[in-house]
């Protein structure tokens, strides 16, 4: 059975939690496509050329331990604006999406560019302030002493870069269902996503 769930949206909107929950509930494989760009970004911070790093990316590179830092996120967002980097990563994502047994991919351009034929498209979003507050709590929990204003500035800069680039910008696919988590408990957002996948699966 081929069944693709495309989940796009900005950083810290709840995409990751929702994607993992959908994959676990339906037994689908999950690919966090941001990790591909983060792995390339990490290699660039280590001195590599971005296009070479993307072309030579290995599955094991996604397991590197430092991919969740703010520094790597910023590098990821920068390399993600390079068309050759994006092109080098398309085939891996598309073949993952078509694997039998169903797949969930989350990112910025899954429903628009990578899997325009996906059976389900969700766009998960929240206001920048809510996303910055969530990210701040995560960072503080891991011992960081950053401030709300710093985190908000990072969120806004990354949104502007991800939505403003010429190649595959972050945007809502025409046929995507919007889930705005600004005033929602994450459990309710997960339920909304599961209900939508269930509905489409019954139609498939």
Q: Report, in Å, the least distance between residue 202 CB and ligand DC.
A: 28
CA distances from 143 to 63, 136, 140, 184, 189 (A): 22, 11, 5, 26, 28
| Closer residue to ligand DC (CB): 30 or 38 | 38
Write out the residues near ligand DC by the rule CB under 6 A: 11, 33-34, 37-38, 73, 76-77, 80, 107-110, 158, 162
The smaller minimum CB distance to ligand DC, of residues 35 and 177, is found at 35
Residue number, 85 or 177, with CB nearest to ligand DC? 85
Nearest residue (CB) to ligand DC, 30 versus 108: 108
């Amino acid at each position: 059975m081929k069944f693709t769930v495309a989940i796009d949206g900005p950083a810290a909107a709840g995409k990751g939690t929702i994607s993992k929950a959908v994959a676990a509930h339906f037994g689908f494989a999950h690919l966090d496509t941001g990790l591909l760009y983060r792995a390339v970004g990490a290699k660039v911070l280590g001195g590599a050329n971005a296009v070479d790093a993307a072309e030579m990316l290995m599955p094991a590179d996604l397991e590197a331990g430092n991919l969740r830092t703010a520094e790597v996120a910023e590098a990821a967002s920068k390399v993600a604006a390079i068309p050759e980097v994006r092109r080098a990563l398309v085939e891996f994502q598309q073949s993952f999406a078509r694997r039998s047994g169903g797949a969930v991919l989350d990112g910025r351009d899954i429903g628009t560019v990578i899997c325009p034929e996906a059976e389900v498209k969700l766009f998960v979003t929240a206001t920048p302030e809510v996303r910055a507050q969530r990210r701040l709590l995560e960072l503080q929990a891991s011992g960081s002493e950053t401030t709300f204003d710093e985190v908000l500035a990072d969120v806004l800069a990354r949104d502007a870069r991800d939505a403003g680039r010429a190649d595959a910008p972050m945007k809502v696919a025409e046929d995507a269902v919007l889930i705005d988590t600004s005033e929602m408990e994450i459990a309710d957002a997960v339920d909304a996503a599961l209900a939508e996948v269930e509905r489409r699966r019954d139609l498939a």
